[in-house]
Structure 1
Amino acid sequence: MSIKILGIETSCDETGVAIVDENGKILGDVLYIQDFIHSKFGGVVPEVAARRHIEVLPVALKEVLEKAKCEIREINAVACTIGPGLMGALLTGVSFAKSISISLNLHFIGIDHLEAHINAIFLEKNVEYPFIGLVISGGHTSIFFVEGIGKMELLGKTLDDAAGEAFDKASKALGLGYPGGPVIDRLSRNGDPDRYKFPRAMESSPDLNMSFSGLKTALITLIKKENSIRIEDLCASFQEAVLDTVFNKLKRAVQMKRAKRIVIAAGGESNSRLREKAK
């Protein structure tokens, strides 16, 4: 009889529930997104996200059990994201997961959100350790030196906004809606990344930390100053500044650790320009 582990993720505004076996095979998974709720606010509202998790978690659990063709009593352990993330959102997931583990007398496994992003690569392919891991998303932008499961050294991170958050704020300032990453990526494909000049923060800083908050200020200043702006060029130029900042630090991390492999994880890795620069 195979071991079945129930996994629950509520670190931000997406409710993820899955069941996997001891080999990592996904027996069933369900994902509820909240973009349609938060789009009118131009970003994720933490309390609203937490309340939505409370609403959909019981439904998601029922659906994932049906997909995996198993009963709740067949679950052997419960794993849940314990951080980092939005406090209220995390608490809803942890409370739900612990209520299941306690009521069924199951082992509870706390999962680090960023470590999970990095190790998700092993669902598709085996990557030899050590490697440099980049987590890039709406909530996090961090660079790690990864030597194994549970062996991650933080080399650098954003000191303010995450890269994805910078995209969201830029999109809001331009009236393009939420989430900003996909729409800026799409418009940038027909734009000139050299048309407008944006700062590359902390470019000469000796550490591997990053900063993106100044980019939003530079964008707003440019919008007010320029009489005629081609939106595709502006998006491309802004996107290039964000990615240059990330890749400047990523290259230095590779040199510092003499790494031969890089793993890029989380929502930001779907950006088409990022994928081009990573080749």
Structure 2
Amino acid sequence: MALSHAFPSGQPVPPQQKALTVLGLESSCDDTAAAVLRRAPDGSVTVLAERVLGQDAAHAPYGGVVPEIAARAHAERMDGLAAEVLAEAGLSAHELDGVAATAGPGLIGGVMAALMTAKGLALGAGIALVAVNHLEGHALSPRLTRKLDFPYLLLLVSGGHTQLVIVEGVGAMTRLGSTIDDAAGEAFDKTAKIMGLGFPGGPAVERAARAARNPERFDLPRMLTGKPGCDFSFAGLKTAARRAWDALEAPGDQDRADLAGAVQSAIASHLSERTGRAMDRFIEAFPQASRTLVAAGGVAANQTVRAALTEAAQARGFELIAPPLKYCTDNAAMIALAGAERLALGLVDGLDAPARARWPLDADAAARDPATGGGRKGPKA
């Protein structure tokens, strides 16, 4: 897996044995974020300043993220937000060792906002540019708050991504499975939209599910039953939820709660079952390694999902680690960390670094076994 190569005009530099201070910028979906982070030579990190500006109110009328609205908001906010976190950290751009920006995957108009701002800062201040894979940011995010040795197993589960990856090191990822259609977060969002629960859908479904009395009344499918491997599928569940809702003559609050509970339970069960298979594979590949499962991404904040993953992990002797909520969802601290980790290895990028709508963590697996299906987000990721 070759995320470790610089882009064509990027010049690798000697590995860094000093403390590194990096500005991180994130704009891959609907959160505009900036953070300043310092990485010590021993790998410990300190977040000096961080901010995230959401866009929920702008997208709520549409029940989902509108790319054009998101891109415009990022373009209007990104440079000012970068200036704010630098001021909070008491630093100028010239005092940074580098600037890291999400270069993909994501909504291309949004990705360009962070990347172009980073290029301008790198050129103007004469500092290193690091183009970060957003998914690698999530993969490394637990190292923001604790020491975590490689390798470990990662379940990345969010609105745009659902995949299982062995993280062997910076730029060294092996994909075990991914969604063949929709991401888990999209199933949450679409179910919320069907029932008029609001946006963002994941937290809305979780809140509604707390009042569920009889979620078993809805006969929802078990996805990929009997199919080997670690791939996921959520399109059928999304369709079944819509049909169940449409079949109700005059649905009320209890119907919403019960269906929300049924969908949430089905998602949690599917995630834990496929992740259990991945844990078994991890043990076979790394019998002497610490058994660590990291759950990252916005869906990892769902308590029912966490409980199901915890049970599956404990059954196999794994420790489940989930970053704090603010680092589960999109943020710039994880981008700054990924940038600092790469910079410490002497990996930088040129000003021709492209913005990418698609950028798989494991390029070899993506080429050998590409995701298929009609999902708007899953296969594109």
TM-score interval, smaller chain: over 0.9
Q: Secondary structure of 2:216's partner?
A: coil
1:274 has 2:321 as partner: no
Whole-angstrom distance in 2 between the partners of 1:208 and 1:110: 29
Residue matched to 1:209: 231
Residue matched to 1:21: 38
How many residue pairs were aligned?
279
Alignment of 1:90-129 (within 5 A): 90-129=111-150
Please identify, of 220-229 and 36-45, the stretch whose mean Cα deviation from structure 2 is larger.
Answer: 220-229
Which is bigger in relative contact order (C-alpha 8 A, separation at least 6)? 2
Work out whether residues 7 and 18 of structure 1, in 8 Å CA contact, stay in contact via their aligned partners in 2.
Answer: yes
Residue matched to 2:296: 265
Residue matched to 1:10: 27
Residue matched to 2:267: 242
Which stretches in structure 2 are left out of the alignment for 5+ residues?
Answer: 1-17, 311-381
1:38 has 2:63 as partner: no
Tell me the CA shift for residue 228 of structure 1: 5.6
Q: Percent of pairs identical after alignment? A: 36
String of CA shifts for 1:143-188, please: whole Å, max 9, x gaps. Answer: 1012222221011111221111111111111011111100111111
Whole-angstrom distance in 2 between the partners of 1:220 and 1:22: 47
1:89 has 2:120 as partner: no
| Aligned structure 1 segments of 4 or more residues deviating by more than 4 angstroms | none
Tell me the CA shift for residue 2 of structure 1: 5.5
Alignment of 1:40-79 (within 5 A): 40-79=61-100
Which stretches in structure 1 are left out of the alignment for 5+ residues?
Answer: none
Residue matched to 1:226: 248
Work out whether residues 29 and 70 of structure 2, in 8 Å CA contact, stay in contact via their aligned partners in 1.
Answer: yes
Q: Secondary structure of 2:187's partner?
A: helix
Residue matched to 2:179: 158
Whole-angstrom distance in 2 between the partners of 1:226 and 1:257: 44
Structure 1 residues 274 and 80 mapped into 2: Cα distance closer, same or farther (>3 Å)? same
Tell me the CA shift for residue 130 of structure 1: 2.2
Q: Secondary structure of 1:194's partner?
A: helix
Letter in 2 for 1:160: D
String of CA shifts for 1:70-107, please: whole Å, max 9, x gaps. Answer: 12221221111111111111112111111111122211
Using the size of structure 1 for normalisation, the TM-score is: 0.95
Work out whether residues 136 and 162 of structure 1, in 8 Å CA contact, stay in contact via their aligned partners in 2.
Answer: yes
Work out whether residues 208 and 261 of structure 2, in 8 Å CA contact, stay in contact via their aligned partners in 1.
Answer: yes
Q: Secondary structure of 1:118's partner?
A: helix
